Amino acid sequence: MADAQTAPEDLFDAAFEIWDRAYVPYSHYKVAAAIRTPSGRIYAGVNVENASYPVGTCAEAGAIAAMVAGGDRDIVEIAVLADGGELVTPCGGCRQRIMEFGGPHAAVWAGDLHGRRRRSTAGELLPLAFGPKAMASEPAPD
């Protein structure tokens, strides 16, 4: 189920490298994510659960936090790795985070441990997203 475009296996490799470090004592559902920035740097994160649901952190949010802490602010593409029956895309909150740092054209890859890959864009996953333009004091030109 590979996409027409070549999946970024280096991002999936980075996610797989830390996938087993996910802290999931409640759901037992591990997720890892890896981001590429315009400089080519890669940042990764895993999901971290907490007994006080919903205080946990998604893998995508962890990768974005690592990116910001590393001094980068722009997402070119992100790979999300999980294992289950369906390929997993980011939750609504993480879609909003990806839009904030990557815009509607950022590539969002979903993948599993069996090599299945699917590509979407942030704009496809979150149409009509709320963003900085919505907060501008002047209407954006059409």
Contact 76, 39 (CB under 8 A): no
Q: Which of 9, 17, 60, 77 is catalytic?
A: 60
Tokens 């999980």 correspond to 82
Structure tokens at 23: 């802290």
d(CA 111, CA 120): 12
Q: Residue 67: what residue type?
A: M
Tell me, yes or no, if 77 is annotated catalytic.
no
List residues with catalytic annotation: 60
